[in-house]
Structure 1
């Protein structure tokens, strides 16, 4: 039985990332036999504040379904295209962490706090979340 084209592409991308790691993130399979479920560790850019959804979800255009945005916010070329690789997606996420878009958040409450007091209460809250994440990352 032959592998689907998507599996072949993902296998090549995984091999390339293992051979030539990219600064800023580490990625691999959750289970060796499932090419469609990845685990990623992002090393946030220095001196940045960031917040993501409680589940680790991010709201970024290139992960949205291809085609027209029913809300008219995103252009089709900003959304998912088959040319994206794991590397281009991760670089986009890292860029988002360095320069978040408060107008299109995954976490509306965090975006509100970020807009109102990004250098005060928000910064302290994110620092606590990062410390907690670091403490529990390898349990």
Structure 2
């Protein structure tokens, strides 16, 4: 764990405490470890996730900021861009550079060391508002999103209710 990465995370956590992002609350899982954050994402108004309270973990690698963190919802989530285990799959969380196996995203869309936690969290809020079913992490959710919107909406309403009960 680099001194630079540790200091950068300390600064970003303090910045988010002073200037919070709408719909997101952040904190440390353990005050002695700046590399493991707990996140609470509130479902954006006007989306299927509205009213939900979704818990997640943001875990930073030892070589942060050169490599991106991993974000995993610990609350149940039904979304084309979230794996069944809760891991979020969006471009900003993918390692830097081109990916020969994924022509859907450019290097500019992927992680770069100049990006920070705020950009990640804004991207996750955007993901909830506008799922990308072209490159799904959860194929079943993507197929349901495309082919059976009423069933998708029903399933998301169920997880929103569950998230409200769990908070």
TM (norm. structure 1) is 0.90
Q: Which residue of 2 aligns with 1:27?
A: 26
Aligned residue for 1:132, secondary structure, equals helix
Higher helix proportion: 1
Query: Which residue of 2 is the match for residue 10 of structure 1?
Result: 9
Specify which of 80, 86, 89 is matched with residue 56 of structure 1. 86
> Residue 11 of structure 2 aligns to a residue in which SS?
helix
CA contact (8 A) 1:59 1:104 kept: no
SS at match of 2:39: strand
In the other structure, the counterpart of 1:78 is: 109
Structure with bigger strand share is 2
* Residue matched to 1:65: 95
Corresponding residue SS for 1:127: helix
- Indicate if the aligned counterparts of 2:104 and 2:135 stay in contact, CA closer than 8 A: no
Gap runs ≥5 in structure 1: none
Cross-structure match for 2:166:
136
In structure 2, what is the equivalent of residue 91 of structure 1? 122
Q: How do 1:110-129 and structure 2 match up within 5 A?
A: 110-118=141-149, 120-129=150-159
Greater gyration radius = 1
Give unpaired runs (5+ residues) of structure 2: 50-78
SS at match of 2:10: helix
CA offsets 1:34-70 (integer angstroms, 9 cap, x no match): 1111111111211213623333221100100101112
The total of aligned residue pairs comes to 135
TM, length-normalised to structure 2: 0.75
